Structure 1
Amino acid sequence: MKLGAFSVSLSVKNLQASKEFYEKLGFSVFAGSMEMNYLIMKNEQTLIGLFHQMFDKNILTFNPGWDQEAQTVKDYDDVRKIQHSLKNAGIALAQEADPSSSGPGSILLFDPDGNTILIDQHI
């Protein structure tokens, strides 16, 4: 199963303070803006999303169809194919993509410890 680009999405209390902290670790702003209440920070191939007042918990995020540069890749598994595979494996989904749709879509699930996993396809 090809899940695509991986990042950790952090729910932060102070976006500016978090930005400054991760910059000290060598990250720089890759996408987003302070005005939009989120920043995607990048250090080489590592991505961390900083999100202010968007969700309650940290999230493991996968983006089918994207590489770590947010560039489209040719060979990827569509989110609906991933959804089908997960359901066939007996994994419960908290949110599903419309199986009859195409293009962007997302699914949401939780690991056995309650950690949130978002599989979010943008293409």
Structure 2
Amino acid sequence: MKLGAFSVSLNVKDIQASQSFYEHLGFHVFGGDIAQKWLILKNENCIIGLFQGMFEKNILTFNPGWSEDAENLDAFTDIRDIQKHLKANGIGMLTEADEATEGPAHFVIEDPDGNRILFDQHR
């Protein structure tokens, strides 16, 4: 099962202060829109999303179909197949992707400690 690019999505209080902090750690802005209060930062193959006021907790994120450079992958496991596999193995869904569709979709699960994991396919 190929999960795609991995990132940590952080719920931040002050996106400008967080941007400055992570830039001092060697990250650079890779995407996003600070006016909308979200940025994607990258340092080599490490990716961090900064999100102000969009969700309550930090989230682990997988992007099936994307590389760490946000480039489309030729071969990947479709999000609906990942969801079916997880459900067949007893993993409960907080939100679900519509398995009757194709293309972009997402779902959310939670690990045993309450950490949310977002699977977000953009293509």
TM range (shorter): over 0.9
CA offsets per residue over residues 75-111 of structure 1, 9 Å max, x none?
A: 1000000000000011001110000000000010000
| Equivalent residue letter for 1:57 | K
Amino acid at match of 1:11: N
Instruction: Show the 5 A alignment for 1:1-123.
Output: 1-123=1-123
Q: CA RMSD in A?
A: 0.4
Q: C-alpha separation between the residues in 1 aligned to 2:39 and 2:66?
A: 18
Letter in 1 for 2:71: Q
Matched to 2:114, the amino acid is G
Residues in 2 aligned to 1:33 and 1:108: alpha-carbon distance in whole angstroms: 23
Instruction: Count residues with an aligned counterpart.
Output: 123
Q: Please give the alpha-carbon distance, in whole angstroms, between the structure 1 residues aligned to 2:90 and 2:13.
A: 35
Q: CA deviation at 1:33?
A: 1.6
**CA distance in structure 2 between the aligned counterparts of 1:42 and 1:55, rounded to whole angstroms:** 21
Identity of aligned residues (%): 56
Deviations, residues 10-39 of structure 1 (Å, cap 9, x unaligned): 000000000000000000000002112100
> 4+ residue runs of structure 1 moved beyond 6 angstroms?
none
- TM-score if structure 2 supplies the norm length? 0.99
- The C-alpha deviation readout for 1:34-82, integer Å capped at 9, x for no partner, is 1121000000110000000000000000000000000000110000000
